[in-house]
Structure 1
Amino acid sequence: MKRTALVAALTVALTGCSLAPSYQQPEAPVAEQWDNTDQYSAVTPPHWRDFFADPILQDLIETALKNNRDLRIAALNVDAFRAQYRIERSAQFPSINASGGANRQRLPGSMTADGNSAITSQYSANLGITAWELDLFNRLGNLSEQALETYFASEQAQRSTQLSLIASVATAWLNLQADQETLALVRDTLATYEDSLRLVEHSYDVGIATLLELQQARTAANSARISLAQFERQTVQSRNALNLLLGGTPRTNLLTPVPLSHFEFAELPVGLPAHLLQRRPDILQAEHQLKAAHANIGAARAAFFPSISLTTHAGSLSPDLSGLFDAGSGSWLFMPSINLPIFNAGRLRANLNYSEIQKDINVAHYEKAIQTAFQEVADGLIERTTYKQQLAAHDEMVQTSEEYYALADLRYREGVDNQLTLLDAQRLLFDAKQKRINTHFAKLASEINLYKALGGGYSQEL
């Protein structure tokens, strides 16, 4: 009979009713389709090794995935939350402990029945359960569910960190290449200005060029030297920023310049906005945090109800160590307890209100994550179209500026035009080439951002 009652109590404890509100995924606060695009594919973006096909860039990304400290911290956070979940889950099960003890006590004569002092001994050995809470209202179950969802959220945070790291390394590498390409352009431009300065100095010495033309040539050369120092500094700083992301020494020589025109990424399929909800790690993280908040409400509600704890053990008790396990020395203890909250100055109500407010906050975070994702993808789509047009215009502008410079240089050497026209042509050509480099970098960076915004493929190898 006692055994049947105990089994029934265990069954009730393990299948207690949950007071957590049922979870319903909030409706996505965005449009159902993108503007100005007809590409609605459900295909997942390619793995990063397929998207970033350049072997140098692949080597850099692999180095970062192995050594980057932010990613290492994210991985350790996952392990920490996994351990926290195991701690919370273990509270749902009884903890069985074995214990043994000995007690010897001298009693004075005034404390004994016969008036003589005495020494008493007691030895015990027990196996039992201590203060196991019967989870009738699923308080412990909801706390375990909350820890589990927090653990899942940390996994998505790790994936988000990894995806951001991949995009950051690729962008930093391209930024370094853009700086090195611009630095080479500045050096070429400075060489051109110095050639012109020597020509003007010679013309001035023989009385052909004026002092104004000489000063103009010197100003142009000094301006190029200023730009040279600026981009030398900027190139080193870009390399340092990339090294920080890598967290280690790559096999690739970072000083080897690679023209931006050599970079080309795989075509990205673009799905409906709803597909982001299953793919973007930050959205999935926000949803897991929202589910954790729902479970926390259940635990806060369960705190209003009585809690029942069970302590029981069986063993042996004897005044002599040699007779501890003799027949007739067996002992047992069964001690249930109940705790009913009566007055707590509104603490339980405030805790429930706090949990409900936290749930509303997490709903807002979830909706904001969706809106941010929608905006980033929409921006990426329009950038993908307009940067192609802008780069084509820059190519044409560079060609026109080169023709203008060649003509101005020829007319200046033949004495048809003054030096001011030549300097203007040199300046326009430099500006056109520099802007083309910047636009080429911006176009490639926008493709990387779109890949990240779509929740692109990621690696599980950390």
Structure 2
Amino acid sequence: MTALRNPFAARLRQPLLAVAITLAGCASPDGIGPQSARRDAATLEAGAQLAGERADAPWPDARWWQAFGDTQLDRLIAQADADSPDLAIAAARVRLALAEAGSARAATLPAVDAKAALQDTRFTERSFIPPPYAGAFWWSNSAALDFRYALDLWGGDEAALQAARAGARASGAAEQAARLSLQSDIVQAYAQLALQYERRELLEQELRNRRQIAAISAQRVRAGIGTELELTQVQTGVPALQAQLDAVDQQIEILGHQLAALAGHGPGGADALQRPHLQVPAGSLLPSHLPAELVARRPDLAARRWQVEAAAQGVEAAHARFYPNIDLIAAAGLESLGFYHFLHPDALVANVGPAVSLPIFDGGRLRAALGARSAQYDEAVGHYEQTLVRALQQIADAVTAIRGLERQQAQIDAAVRSAEHAHALAMRGYQAGLSDYLEVLGTESALLLQRDHAATLRLQRVAAHAQLMAALGGGLPPAESPPQAPETAR
């Protein structure tokens, strides 16, 4: 249990325990307690994918997105950090948790209240008040200072304070998790915006090529070596490409609105956005000692651990309510009948002594409260386990995606080079009158498709890298570890 805060309470604890056992047999915590224990992250197997990865990379930097080399992205994340409503909500929750911790701390400190009353009162003639007060109006005056101090013999108030402090730390870690999630969302939306600009550039190039081919086809018709069918086929492709270009422009606008909203601005915030210029980071992906250190570096895991600690202290507080407690109370002040006697020395009143509370019969309220706190502890442990397993899965998924995309990129780059060569040969043959337009159209479509695949893979690698950085904790420094769970929470 929580350590006692003063030696006087420690001396009272043993005799009061004997009294509690004698008188409070009906209010017993026996048979109630948590059923779960927090698992060590090192016991989870990382798997062949993570075990085979070279693990010598540093942990993510606090500004991990700067590795993509785009200053516009840096500005967007800075704006989001300052203006995002989501972060404002998370910060308000932190302040609320700190205020609740302050309230819990106040319960462990002495309290002094001042009160006063001045009343012109008619006293009844049918009670114990004698004449001349009975049946007449007299001033009834009082003023006092009341003192109360809870000895907290069983550490219940101290456990409630530690639970509130752990809750505040959990809220702080949750704020960091919200910030990291927002940063990751911005990077991934920004990568999608970059992909749409890449596609726009490809479509514009193909539109220029198609118009050039249409001009060549018209010349071939006039020279008598081409047909109206070929010219019609070429001209039909121009509005189709223009429609695709319009669709890409629409996506660019929508993604701009999304990025502006993530940064905490209205749609007009997207008007100043320029084409992204993202670099794909290279090198090792994973740091060493991954499972063990991950627990301290991922903010959502840190929040879950502090929630487990808060729940454990809640069990301690509920357990302490089964035993008797003593409050030291005292009061001193003035009290009189008659206004002019109020400040006389004879009006002084004072009292001092202990107030003992002892649960005997409560209809099962204390047992129900302890059972509820124990279930909350088990739930918090379950959430922690769930978050830990999901964290390792996210890391493994991101590493698998990055390595798979790298292999695909190498293959697609070779396909792009081959498609470019085939298209160039078809164009030369068409210009020389050695092949028809269908060959050019086929090689053009294949080239456009391969270039689109290449751009998609490159931007998917950026998004996967952002997912990995978020899965590794996004540069959060190692968090303070909660203490071991108390005995009653094991």
Same fold (TM over 0.5): yes
CA contact (8 A) 1:23 1:294 kept: no
Question: What's the Cα RMSD here?
Answer: 3.3
Equivalent position SS for 2:181: helix
Of 257, 271, 275, which residue of structure 2 is paired with 1:257? 275
Corresponding residue of 1:168: 185
2:55 to 28, 31, 39: 39
> Residues of 2 paired with 1:222 and 1:266: CA distance?
44
Match of 1:228 among 238, 241, 245: 245
How far apart are 1:66 and its partner, in Å? 0.8
SS of corresponding position for 1:96: strand
User: How many Å apart are 1:109 and its aligned residue?
Assistant: 5.5
Residue 206 (structure 1) shift: 6.4
SS in 2 for 1:124: strand
1:331: Cα distance to partner?
Answer: 0.5
The answer to whether residue 142 in structure 2 is matched with residue 124 in structure 1 is: yes
Deviates more, 1:403-412 or 1:104-113: 104-113
Deviation at 1:434, TM superposition (A): 1.0
Candidates 212, 234, 240, aligned match of 1:217? 234
Aligned to 1:406: 424
Structure 1 unmatched ranges of 5 or more: 1-5
Instruction: Report which stretch shifted further, 177-186 or 337-346.
Output: 337-346
| 2:26 alignment counterpart | none
Partner residue, 2:39: 26
- C-alpha distance in 2, partners of 1:212/1:452? 55
Residue type matched to 1:224 in 2?
L
Cα separation, 2, equivalents of 1:102 and 1:355: 46
Partners in 2 of 1:346 and 1:211 — Cα distance? Answer: 93
2:367 maps to a residue whose letter is R
Query: Contact (CA 8 Å) 1:30, 1:370: kept in 2 or not?
Result: no
Structure 2 CA distance, aligned partners of 1:355 and 1:405? 71
Distance 1:109 1:355 in 2: 54
Mapped pair 1:65 → 2:78: no
| 1:254/1:376 CA distance change after superposition, 3 Å | farther
- The counterpart of 1:97, out of the listed 106, 113, 116, is 113
Matched position secondary structure for 2:293: helix
In 1: Cα distance, 2:126 partner to 2:248 partner: 97
Return the letter of the residue paired with 1:398. Answer: V
Whether 2:473 is the aligned partner of 1:455: answer yes
Given that 2:104 and 2:164 are in contact with CA atoms closer than 8 Å, whether structure 1 keeps it comes out as yes
The answer as to whether partners of 1:123 and 1:317 remain within 8 angstroms in 2 is: yes
Q: Deviation string for 1:24-55 (max 9, x for gaps)?
A: 742225215723213156x4322316545433
Alignment check: 8 A CA contact 1:21 1:298 kept: no
Q: Within 5 Å, which residues of 2 pair with 1:365-404? A: 365-404=383-422
Choose which of 143, 146, 164 in structure 1 pairs with 2:163.
146
Say which SS state the counterpart of residue 328 (structure 1) adopts. Answer: helix
Q: Give the 3 Å change call, closer, same or farther, for CA 395–367 of structure 1 in structure 2.
A: same
- Identity level (%): 26
Structure 2 residue runs without a partner (length 5+): 1-5, 18-28, 478-490
Question: Structure 1 104/295 Cα, relative in aligned 2: closer, same or farther at 3 Å?
Answer: same
The TM-score with structure 2 as length reference comes to: 0.81
> Could you tell me which residue of structure 2 aligns to residue 437 of structure 1?
455
Residues 265 and 88 from structure 1, CA distance in 2 versus in 1: closer, same or farther, beyond 3 angstroms?
farther
CA distance in 2, matches of 1:344, 1:183: 73
Partner of 1:293: 311
- Cα distance in 1 for partners of 2:428, 2:237 equals 19
Shift in Å, 1:375: 1.4
Kindly provide the amino acid, as one letter, of the partner of residue 153 in structure 1: A
8 Å CA contact retained: 2:119, 2:139: yes
